[in-house]
């Protein structure tokens, strides 16, 4: 118990808006499987946060909670080591968010670079849902409710963590006691995986993702359609590795770094055909996905088990988050019966 509590607490999660894909695998899932042995890891299925830009599609968010949970278990997230929970079933998070909203100005939220760029990306402009503007505060509630000290994020999310730490300092200062620990980002050491069409953004709607239960046929099709070096017309021509989607994927998934290095050198000096490189990638992806797909198919046959895992994880997290909320409310001097 003591040892368990001394492990750093990680909070991570996903907006359940679609099945997870290889981009998630590289960006987060793979490392979560590793981290669950050394950390006290909580994974939040952030359905409430997903609604901040999906208010017209509750059905999509609801449905994908089970899909994403199945993805977690399929890649090897172990519910005996990691608690997986459903955000909308942790009422303490709402109460904490509402409390924190009093500690943050509107101007500060509007200055948040992540929010700024996401507003642009989603084309919200003046029609920003208030929930969307406030979601960095909701995220601060998530992180602090778990007293997480380690938050795995992409570089674009760093301002969210800064916002969280500002709130933490404000709360601690007002209470006069460091109830909440500050949190640190755990930056991924791999870059964002592009879509297999080479577009920076991977999304289901663009049809450029490889999902975690992709069939061999899906994988073959995706790899074959990948852009390589447009100037590498004949096998004997020197080819470019940078910006070549096949090599970007090999960088992410090929575990034999020595062979990959030689392959790149060969491609650069000429004499290595795209077909050969694609074949290698196809083999690697098939090998990676096959066991995940099989576990996923098995898990899909037992929806009750998925629900049990979610219910049990959520129950545990309700206790943790409610305890933090009580501690903060009492520290701030709120009314108690």
Beta bridge partners of 198: none
Least gap, CB of 253 to a second copy (angstroms) = 33
Answer yes or no: are the C-beta atoms of 45 and 310 closer than 8 Å: yes
Nearest CA-CA partner of 28 in 278, 17, 118, 41: 41
Give the long-range contacts of residues 284-288, CB within 8 A, separation 24 or more: 284/250, 284/253, 284/254, 285/22, 285/210, 285/219, 285/223, 285/249, 285/253, 286/216, 286/219, 288/25, 288/253
Strand ranges of the sheet holding 150-153, from the earlier edge strand across to the other edge = 82-86, 40-45, 9-14, 150-153, 184-187
Least gap, CB of 170 to a second copy (angstroms) = 9
Residues in 278-307 at the binding interface with a second copy, rule: CB under 8 A: 307
Q: Does 166 bind a second copy (CB under 8 A)?
A: no
How far is Cα 82 from Cα 155, in angstroms, rounded to an integer? 24
Interface segment toward a second copy; rule CB under 8 A; list 76-84, 100-108, 219-227, 277-285: 100-108
Give alpha helix (H) positions in 254-273.
Answer: 257-269
Nearer to a second copy, 42 or 232 (CB): 42
Q: Does 311 bind a second copy (CB under 8 A)?
A: yes
Of 76, 103, 179, 237, which lies in the binding site for a second copy, with binding defined by CB under 8 A? 103
The footprint of a second copy on this chain (CB under 8 A) covers a number of residues equal to: 52
Nearer to a second copy, 84 or 104 (CB): 104
How far is Cα 296 from Cα 213, in angstroms, rounded to an integer? 7
- Tokens, residue 86: 């459903």
Nearer to a second copy, 171 or 186 (CB): 171
Interface segment toward a second copy; rule CB under 8 A; list 99-107, 208-216, 245-253, 265-273: 99-107
Nearer to a second copy, 128 or 202 (CB): 128
Give, as one character, the DSSP assignment of residue 11.
Answer: E
Of 3, 4, 80, 107, which lies in the binding site for a second copy, with binding defined by CB under 8 A? 107
State the binding string over 36-75 for a second copy (x if CB under 8 A, else -). -----------xx--xx--xx-xx-xx--x----------
Nearer to a second copy, 142 or 274 (CB): 142
Of 98, 187, 206, 233, which lies in the binding site for a second copy, with binding defined by CB under 8 A? 98
Least gap, CB of 84 to a second copy (angstroms) = 13
Nearer to a second copy, 151 or 306 (CB): 306
Neighbours of 247 (CB within 10 A): 23
What DSSP string describes 166-193?
A: HHHHHHHHHHTS--SPP-EEEE-SSPPP
Nearest CA-CA partner of 86 in 22, 188, 161, 14: 14
- Tokens, residue 234: 């004949």
Nearer to a second copy, 170 or 221 (CB): 170
Q: Does 89 bind a second copy (CB under 8 A)?
A: yes
How far is Cα 318 from Cα 46, in angstroms, rounded to an integer? 14
List contacts with a second copy (CB under 8 A): 47-48, 51-52, 55-56, 58-59, 61-62, 65, 86, 88-89, 91-92, 94-95, 97-99, 101-109, 126-134, 137-138, 174, 307, 310-311, 314, 329, 332-335, 337
């Amino acid at each position: 118990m003591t040892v368990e509590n001394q492990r750093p607490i990680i909070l991570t999660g996903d907006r359940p808006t679609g099945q997870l894909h290889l981009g998630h695998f590289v960006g987060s899932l793979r490392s979560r499987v590793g981290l669950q042995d050394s950390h006290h890891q909580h994974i939040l299925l952030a359905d409430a946060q997903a609604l901040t830009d999906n208010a017209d599609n509750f059905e999509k968010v609801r449905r994908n909670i089970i899909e994403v949970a199945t993805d977690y278990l399929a890649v090897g997230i172990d519910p005996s080591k990691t608690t997986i929970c459903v955000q909308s079933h942790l009422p303490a998070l709402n109460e904490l968010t509402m409390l924190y909203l009093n500690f943050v100005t509107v101007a500060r939220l509007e200055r948040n670079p992540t929010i700024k760029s996401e507003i642009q990306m989603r084309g919200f402009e003046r029609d920003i849902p208030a929930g969307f503007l406030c979601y960095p505060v909701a995220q601060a509630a998530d992180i602090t409710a778990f007293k997480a000290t380690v938050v795995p994020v992409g570089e674009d999310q760093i301002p969210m963590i800064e916002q969280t730490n500002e709130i933490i300092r404000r709360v601690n200062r007002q209470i006069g006691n460091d109830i909440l620990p500050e949190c640190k980002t755990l930056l991924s050491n791999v870059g964002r995986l592009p879509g297999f069409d080479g577009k920076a953004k991977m999304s289901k709607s663009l049809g450029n993702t490889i999902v975690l239960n992709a069939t061999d046929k899906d994988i073959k099709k995706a790899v074959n359609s990948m852009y390589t070096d447009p100037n590498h017309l004949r096998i004997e021509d020197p080819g470019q590795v940078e910006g070549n989607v096949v090599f970007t994927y090999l960088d992410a998934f090929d575990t034999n770094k020595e062979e990959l290095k030689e392959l790149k050198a060969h491609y650069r000096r000429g004499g290595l055909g795209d077909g050969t490189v694609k074949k290698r990638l196809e083999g690697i992806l098939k090998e990676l996905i096959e066991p995940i797909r099989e576990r996923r198919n098995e898990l899909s046959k037992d929806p009750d088990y998925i629900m049990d895992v979610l219910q049990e994880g959520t129950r545990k997290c309700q206790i943790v988050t409610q305890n933090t909320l009580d501690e903060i409310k009492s520290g701030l001097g709120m009314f108690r019966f």
